[in-house]
């Protein structure tokens, strides 16, 4: 049986998670915490296997709280469940020692599956985050960033740089606009550019214009 400690300052969120996990045969909620102080108390004394942790709570929270929990309990398995998207906190939480990152919009079965995976010693991260991590750990990071783009990402980059809209690119490549937006998000992360102007400047300097 996997024992879960739920840490969130909103009682309604804790109750909702307990209802979600009640449907899992191999998971039981063994404790709750409403702030960073209670989390640290439970880290020292609580009987749990996985800490499901909100990023924003009163007092100590976020990255600092994860580090404190790991300092008290190095083998602690922490699954972050946050209202913030992956692009804001996910990499930082994993570097701090978390074993997974989920948004609060995740489906109930995904949450239960993530807890089981983390409890077994694995990690739970999305495909996009896995790609970002792979890039961060790439031994060839001294190569030009655009050399690490996939063929389709390079296609999208060239078309964006030429002034095409996401809708036009989607039509030309026979994919959905959401798919093109996903490629754009990934390639901007890999190129480390923050907006369209920086993207265009990079493409010009790298000779990637169509």
Query: Are residues 115 and 39 both part of a single domain?
Result: yes
Query: Are residues 119 and 151 both part of a single domain?
Result: no
Query: Are residues 40 and 107 both part of a single domain?
Result: yes
pLDDT at 167 over 90: yes
Residues 6+ apart with CB under 8 A from 122: 99
The token pair that represents 39 in the structure block: 């989390």
Query: Are residues 8 and 97 both part of a single domain?
Result: yes
Domain boundary, last residue among 96, 125, 154: 125
Q: Is position 114 within any domain?
A: yes
| Confidence tier at 82 by pLDDT (50, 70, 90) | confident
Query: Are residues 43 and 90 both part of a single domain?
Result: yes
Q: How high is the pLDDT of residue 149?
A: 84
The token pair that represents 90 in the structure block: 């996910």
**Percentage, residues of the chain above pLDDT 70:** 90
Q: Is position 168 within any domain?
A: yes
Identify the CATH number of the domain in which residue 192 sits: 1.10.10.10
Count of structural domains within the chain = 2
**Percentage, residues of the chain above pLDDT 90:** 49
Q: How high is the pLDDT of residue 138?
A: 53
Query: Are residues 197 and 111 both part of a single domain?
Result: no
Each residue's pLDDT tens digit, 19-77: 999 988 899 999 999 999 999 998 888 789 999 999 888 888 888 899 999 988 899 99
Query: Are residues 19 and 101 both part of a single domain?
Result: yes
Is residue 48 within 8 A of residue 31, CB to CB? The reply is yes
Report pTM: 0.62
Residues 6+ apart with CB under 8 A from 59: 35, 36, 37
Q: How high is the pLDDT of residue 210?
A: 62
Distance between CA atoms of 39 and 45, rounded to whole angstroms? 10
Average pLDDT in the 187-204 region?
90
Q: Is position 131 within any domain?
A: no
Query: Are residues 23 and 117 both part of a single domain?
Result: yes
Q: Is position 93 within any domain?
A: yes
The token pair that represents 27 in the structure block: 């998971």
Domain boundary, last residue among 60, 91, 125: 125
Q: How high is the pLDDT of residue 206?
A: 84
Average pLDDT in the 167-171 region?
93
Query: Are residues 114 and 150 both part of a single domain?
Result: no
Query: Are residues 30 and 120 both part of a single domain?
Result: yes
User: pLDDT: is 210 or 75 the higher one?
Assistant: 75
Mean pLDDT, the chain, rounded, equals 87
Q: Residue 74 class from Cβ within 10 Å (0-12 exposed, 13-18 middle, 19+ buried)?
A: exposed
Average pLDDT in the 170-185 region?
93
Distance between CA atoms of 96 and 104, rounded to whole angstroms? 20
Domain boundary, last residue among 95, 125, 155: 125
Average pLDDT in the 203-207 region?
86
Each residue's pLDDT tens digit, 122-149: 988 877 766 666 655 555 555 678 877 8
Q: Is position 73 within any domain?
A: yes
Identify the CATH number of the domain in which residue 46 sits: 3.40.50.2300
Q: How high is the pLDDT of residue 133?
A: 63
Is residue 209 within 8 A of residue 158, CB to CB? The reply is yes
Query: Are residues 66 and 120 both part of a single domain?
Result: yes
Q: How high is the pLDDT of residue 160?
A: 93
Q: Is position 130 within any domain?
A: no
Place of tokens 């896995």: 130
Overall residue count recorded for the chain in this entry: 210
Domain of residue 22, residue span: 2-125
Query: Are residues 115 and 144 both part of a single domain?
Result: no
CA dihedral (197, 176, 170, 173) positive or negative? positive
Q: How high is the pLDDT of residue 113?
A: 93
Per-residue three-class SS string for 21-68: HHCCCCEEEEEEECCHHHHHHHHHHCCCCEEEECCCCCCCCHHHHHHH
């Amino acid at each position: 049986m996997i024992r879960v400690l739920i840490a969130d300052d909103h009682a309604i969120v804790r109750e909702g998670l307990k209802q979600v996990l009640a449907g899992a045969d191999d998971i039981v909620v063994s404790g709750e915490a409403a702030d960073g102080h209670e989390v640290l108390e439970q880290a020292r004394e609580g009987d749990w296997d996985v800490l499901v942790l909100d990023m924003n709570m009163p007092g100590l929270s976020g990255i600092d709280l994860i580090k404190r929990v790991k300092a008290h309990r190095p083998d602690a398995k922490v699954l972050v469940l946050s209202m913030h998207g992956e692009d804001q906190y996910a990499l930082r939480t994993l570097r701090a020692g978390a074993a997974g990152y989920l948004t609060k919009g995740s489906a109930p079965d995904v949450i239960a599956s993530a807890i089981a995976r983390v409890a077994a010693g694995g990690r739970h991260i999305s495909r996009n985050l896995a790609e970002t991590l792979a890039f961060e750990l790439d031994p060839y990071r001294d190569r030009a960033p655009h050399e690490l783009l996939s063929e389709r990402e390079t296609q999208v980059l060239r078309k964006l740089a030429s002034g095409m809209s996401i809708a036009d690119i989607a039509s030309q490549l026979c994919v959905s606009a959401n798919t093109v937006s996903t490629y754009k998000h990934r390639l901007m992360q890999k190129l480390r550019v923050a907006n369209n102007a920086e993207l265009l400047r990079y493409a010009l300097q790298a000779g990637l214009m169509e």
